[in-house]
Amino acid sequence: MTISRRQFVGGAGALAVATVLAAPPVLGQGKPRLVVVGGGAGGATVARYVAKDSAGAIDVTLVEPARTYVTCFHSNLFLGGFKSFESLVQSYDGLARAGVTLNHQAATAIDRDKKEVILADGSRLPYDRLVLSPGIDLKYDSVPGWGKEAEEIMPHAWKAGPQTRLLKARLDAVPDGGLVVMIAPPNPFRCPPGPYERASMMAHVLKTTGRGKAKIIILDPKEKFSKQGLFQEGWERHYPGMVEWMAPSISEGLKSVDPNTGTVVTGFETYRNAALVNVIPAQMAGAIARNAGLANASGYCPVNPDNMASQMDSAIFVVGDAAIPGDMPKSAFAANSQAKVAAMAVRAALLGARAFPARYANTCWSLIDTDDAVKVGGRYAPADGKIKEVEGFISQTGETAELRRKTQEENLGWYAGITADIFG
């Protein structure tokens, strides 16, 4: 029964039929059960949309240990002094109002045979469909000399919360003439323009607080990066001599860091006594997804581009940073977009609701200096077995100040809109 209905909704011509056949596929039980693990950009969106759009016909539980969610998105604007930390903190009250049951603990394992999520207190949550949106885990062993024990000295701030505040405090303590080194991550990673927006915000703070002789060196394992021409133009214009980006062909690669002395060694040079080293390590899907056998050798989870279902288990959907998103970047915008496709697929599978063909969208805005923002984005659809870009756009170098100011207005409007869409 379940399988035939899911086959129905996969074909556009059968959509009307699927709408009529609304009997729950899980007979002999109460309401069908959706469990969502991870209450971030992807998971909170799925939970809220399924609860809202099924009007109580699906029992939705969100498993998330944190009582509030701190957005990584716009955390660079906090670093740059453009936003307060408090403005990044989101409440789960809107999800509860939409009918989502909140279970504030971590999921420790998935029993795929029994279709149960095992929680930190040992209890088990049965599901008919499961959505995983656990975000990323950091590869603590990817930077020689650095590790979990060193993250208080050389912060990553790639998961928002105490690390975000720590990085801000450390930036505020950099003296004029001080050296900041950022270790940028290899692909694929959360928020491709994020490190370079962060460097811009660091330079902004240093310059506007009388520390214009400080220097920021970005050591990158990549030969090119997102919106490169736009960032480099902006650094030249706003922060001449302050930001230096090094491709691996120039730095000859990162060899090691020493958190005790603030030393960073590359093949080409040794940087000593850095006032701040921001290590953004390599990344992979959150452990709960990897340990459930849903990731491939890349460390991320392959999904069906039509509906975000795992390629390893069709009862489980993986959205957000943990998934392999084809041409989409790992962003909150993308996670929210994928989540809506997954929410629709869940309602189709559990209620026989109508499923439209999957369409995805993304835009990533980056602030370079006050009122000077740029963006990159696109629209995406399933094609050739992946989520494929069908249309793209990017800001241009040499744009007017007015256009850049409007782009920043869009950026602020987007944050207000997407947090309302995710959290209600």
- Which residue ranges make up the site for ligand FAD (CB under 6 A)? 37-43, 63-66, 69, 72-73, 75-76, 106-107, 133-135, 158, 190-191, 194, 198, 286, 288, 320-322, 330-333, 335, 364
Find the shortest distance in angstroms from Cβ 198 to ligand FAD.
6
Contacts of 368-372 with C-beta under 8 Å, sequence gap 24+, read 368/197, 368/200, 368/230, 368/231, 368/234, 368/235, 368/238, 369/200, 369/204, 369/234, 369/238, 369/239, 370/82, 370/204, 371/401, 371/404, 371/405, 371/408, 372/234, 372/238, 372/401, 372/404, 372/405, 372/408
Shortest Å, Cβ 70 to ligand FAD = 9
Query: Each residue of 204-236: b (16+ CB within 10 Å) or e?
Result: bbbbeeebbebbbbbbbbbeebbbeebbebbbe
| DSSP SS3 for 217 | strand
State in angstroms the smallest separation of the CB of 61 from ligand FAD. Answer: 11
Q: How far apart are CA 358 and CA 339, in angstroms?
A: 11
Please say which residue, 26 or 361, places its beta carbon nearer to ligand FAD: 361
Q: Which residue, 355 or 374, has its beta carbon nearer to ligand FAD?
A: 374
The two tokens of residue 178 are 């001080």
Q: How far is the CB of 242 from ligand FAD (least distance, A)?
A: 20
DSSP string, 326-353: TTS-B-HHHHHHHHHHHHHHHHHHHH--
Smallest distance, ligand FAD to C-beta of residue 421, A? 12
Phi, psi of 205 (to 5 degrees): -65, -45
Q: Are strands 68-70 and 89-91 parallel, antiparallel or unpaired?
A: antiparallel
CB of 24 to ligand FAD, least distance (A): 26
Question: Quick one: 76 or 395, whose CB is closer to ligand FAD?
Answer: 76
Q: In the complex with ligand FAD, which residue's Cβ is closer, 90 or 266? A: 90
Smallest gap, in angstroms, from Cβ of residue 213 to ligand FAD?
26
Minimum distance of ligand FAD from residue 280's CB (angstroms): 8
Residue nearest ligand FAD (C-beta atom): 40
Interior CA angle at 364 toward 358 and 367, to 5°?
A: 165
Nearer Cβ to ligand FAD, position 73 or 231? Answer: 73
Q: Is 356 exposed, middle or buried (0-12, 13-18, 19+ CB in 10 A)?
A: exposed
- Nearer Cβ to ligand FAD, position 6 or 168? 168
Q: Which of 353/364 has CB closer to ligand FAD? A: 364
Q: Which is nearer to ligand FAD, 18 or 387 (CB)?
A: 387
CB-based contacts of 384, cutoff 8 Å, min separation 6: none
Residues 107-136 as b or e (16 or more Cβ within 10 Å = b): beebebeebbbbbeeeeebebbbbbbbbbb
Comparing CB distances to ligand FAD, the nearer of 135 and 178 is 135
Nearest approach in angstroms of CB 205 to ligand FAD is 15
